[in-house]
Amino acid sequence: MSTMTTPTAARGGSWLLDETDPSAVFTPEKISDEHRLMAQTTDEFVDNEVLPQLEALEEKNWDLARSIVRRCGELGLLGINVPEQYGGIELDKVSSLIVSEHIARAASFGATFGAQANLCILPIFLFGTPEQKRKYLPKLLTGEMVGAYALSESGSGSDALGAKARATKQPDGSWVLNGEKMWITNGGFADVIIVFAKVDGEHFTAFIVEKAFPGVSSGKEEHKMGLHGSSTTPIILQDAKVPADNVLGEIGKGHKVALNTLNFGRFKLGAMSAGGCKSAIGDAAKYAAARKQFGQAIASFGAIKHKLGEMTARTYAVESLMYRTGGLIDASLAATPHDPDDGSAVAKAVEEFVVEASIAKVAGSEALNYVLDENVQIHGGNGYVKDYPAERFYRDARVNRIFEGTNEINRMLIPGMLIRKALKGDLPLIAAAKKLQDELLTPSAPSIGFGDGGRLEEETKAVAAFKKVVLMVLGTAMQTYGQKLTDEQEVLSYIADIVIDTYAAESAVLRAKDAGATRLKDLHDDAVRVFVNDAAQRVEMAARSALAAMSEGDTLRTLLAALRRTLKVTPVNTVAPRRRLAEATTAKGGYIFS
Ligand SMILES: Cc1cc2nc3c(=O)[nH]c(=O)nc-3n(C[C@H](O)[C@H](O)[C@H](O)COP(=O)(O)OP(=O)(O)OC[C@H]3O[C@@H](n4cnc5c(N)ncnc54)[C@H](O)[C@@H]3O)c2cc1C
């Protein structure tokens, strides 16, 4: 734990081993005028053109959905990451986070938008040939064509590479596809679908399939728990005829297209979740201020303040890690000279942050579920009926933990990808874990942690300790199980939870330190204090459970003693900071850090 990194030098996962300079971290407080304009454009679009149409969308008026997609195209929202030569506006990744975050206030349309921009336009930009890009991108970017992404099948969701759909090459070089894709967003009205099928039942490959091709049709709309204003159908391929030129990427390399697309999607789903949290906090704060019981606004009760304070602290942490990651990707792209038309360079830069993308997906979707559940609770009976939006928000959000890789699968990916980076020599994790183990297993080892002698010193020490806990538990797991660690999903999940809390806590601390001179400085500190204090308890619990799962007797006792020496975090009074956060939220009628 020595070197100081800036985003230009950063590699995915390196934050775990290095200290980061707060001034080098991208935070929501650093957004530019251009970013602000993007947020305002998206907000106005959602307020004026999407939310008023929600009922008609929920009645499955797909002509309307298409016209709203076209409006997105006119406003430039579909082409944030695509070069101008194809009709995009090519802004940085932070801009695309901002659009995702703000569009999420209309969750159903957010799904339509995500399938178009992230799951169809992006893979064509990342992996398409120049001809494919010229043919499809301009029409997808204006919204003249609607896109979809068909990976899942009824028998293969998480196990996406187990797909049964087949592609057979014809003597003229064209392809015939057979199979049925399941739960496809925009399935009812998409024109262009990225379809995954196995060539000769073996080589997993991506194809650009037009709905107008013979043999392609969509099945019935699914009756879903939420997102009623978004289309979800099977896509049926019955001897579907696909031209030779419509293979996307290489034959047998469909997994690269699928995984890189999902990687982007996860990162943006994190942003959408942050947007959903902020919107629900506004809903909850206004209701709590207006609703009176026992002669006073329910916002004045400690139990409700606890909820509003906690909703704010969790959202703060997710927002901090999202923007930090966006800044890391932008810095990495800026530091790597590349042709803007070279999608593979962009895919590589994002792939570097695969761990952070999974963290964003899991942390974002789970914070959102928490916030929306508490929003229902703050609304009481009114939270359970359709007259208020709280119940729809709650239903709409549940799927975020399921699609773009379930949270269980993403939890496996987090330690899995860290270990892979370590074994490839990209991250000196194994040496760091070994060094730490030698230190920790010396009974006289001094307690660990460092302070900056200033603001948030305890929280800074706590984050340093969390990082040591990651190394300790991950190192012990690798030693204990070796190659068989992949079979120990419970232990991997505990490790993922510790990594998630560590990245979230560090991102929040760095952001608050950097916001030291701002008007809201004290509230930044309150959010950090609440989040880090609770994260310390979660990290300790997960570490104890993981260590107990892999050792016993004297070994376990020694490891637990080392854990106690490492994670010496004194609990703080979180009631007062939560109350301050809640009172500021109620006074503003919304999320205080926007
Ligand atoms: C509204 C909606 C929209 C969707 N849109 C699209 C779309 O546009 N395109 C598309 O291709 N797909 C889409 N999907 C499908 C979605 O991606 C899948 O539902 C998801 O990947 C999970 O797959 P599954 O449903 O088969 O669940 P399963 O894979 O059967 O999983 C069931 C449970 O088992 C767990 N599990 C599975 N495997 C493992 C494992 N190895 N280790 C530990 N736990 C495991 C899962 O985490 C989950 O909890 C959509 C789904 C919904 C509901």
Q: Write the CA distances from 252 to 122, 196, 203, integer angstroms.
A: 20, 10, 4
Tally Cβ neighbours within 10 Å of residue 23: 11
Q: Is the CB of 408 under 6 A from ligand 1?
A: yes
Distance 237 CA to ligand 1 centre (A): 21
Q: Report yes or no: 149 and 115 within 8 Å, Cβ to Cβ.
A: yes
d(CA 229, CA 233): 13
pLDDT of residue 448: 42
What tens digit of pLDDT does each residue of 233-259 get?
A: 999 999 999 999 999 999 999 999 999
The verdict on the CB of residue 440 being under 6 Å from ligand 1 is no
To test ligand 1's pocket by mutation, which of 60, 146, 183 has the most ligand atoms within 8 angstroms of CB? 183
406 lines ligand 1 (CB under 6 A): yes
For 268, phi and psi rounded to 5 degrees? Answer: -75, -30
Alpha helices by DSSP H, listed for 380-488, are: 390-397, 407-424, 429-440, 457-481
User: Which residue, by CA, sits nearest to atom 25 of ligand 1?
Assistant: 157
Among 119, 406, 414, say which to mutate for ligand 1: greatest number of ligand atoms within 8 Å of CB: 406
Å from CA of 184 to ligand 1 middle: 12
Ligand 1 atom, smallest distance to 151 CA: 11
Ligand 1 pocket residue status of 206, Cβ below 6 Å: no
Q: Which of 192, 199, 197, 210 is nearest to 173 (CA)?
A: 199
For ligand 1, whether the C-beta of 184 sits within 6 Å is yes
d(CA 267, CA 162): 24
352 DSSP 8-state letter:
T
Report how far ligand 1's centroid is from the alpha carbon of 37 (Å): 36
Ligand 1 atom 40 nearest Cα: 409
Closest by CA to 279, choosing from 200, 368, 350, 358, is: 368
Encoding tokens for residue 462? 């706590």
Per-residue tens of pLDDT for the chain, all 594 residues: 434 444 445 789 999 999 999 999 999 999 999 999 999 999 999 999 999 999 999 999 999 999 999 999 999 999 998 999 999 998 899 999 999 999 999 999 999 999 999 999 999 999 999 999 999 999 999 999 999 999 999 999 999 999 999 999 999 999 999 999 999 999 999 999 999 999 999 999 999 999 999 999 999 999 999 999 999 999 999 999 999 999 999 999 999 999 999 998 999 999 999 999 999 999 999 999 999 999 999 999 999 999 999 999 999 999 999 999 999 999 988 888 778 788 888 888 889 999 999 999 999 999 999 999 999 999 999 999 999 999 999 999 999 999 999 999 999 999 999 999 999 998 999 899 888 888 877 765 544 443 445 689 999 999 999 999 999 999 999 999 999 999 999 999 999 999 999 999 999 999 999 998 889 999 999 999 999 999 999 999 999 999 999 999 999 999 999 999 999 877 889 999 999 999 999 999 999 999
Q: Quote the ligand 1 centre to 153 CA distance (angstroms).
A: 9
272 lines ligand 1 (CB under 6 A): no
Q: Which position has the token pair 């850090």?
A: 593
CA-only gyration radius of the chain, Å: 24
Residues with active-site annotation: 404
Q: Is the CB of 413 under 6 A from ligand 1?
A: no
User: SS3 for 166?
Assistant: strand
| Torsion angle (degrees, nearest 10) of CA 99, 104, 107, 112 | 20
How far apart are alpha carbons 465 and 459 in whole angstroms? 10
* Nearest ligand 1 atom, CA 408: 47
pTM above 0.75, yes or no: yes
Cα(405) to ligand 1 centroid in Å equals: 6
- Continuous H helices in 176-301: 254-290
Nearest CA to ligand 1 atom 32: 158
Instruction: Please tell me if the CB atom of residue 158 comes closer than 6 angstroms to any atom of ligand 1.
Output: yes
Phi then psi dihedrals of residue 54, to 5 deg = -60, -45
Report the nearest atom of ligand 1 relative to the CA of 155.
26
User: Which ligand 1 atom is at minimum distance from the Cα of 186?
Assistant: 8
Task: Say how far apart CA 437 and CA 71 lie, in whole Å.
Answer: 57
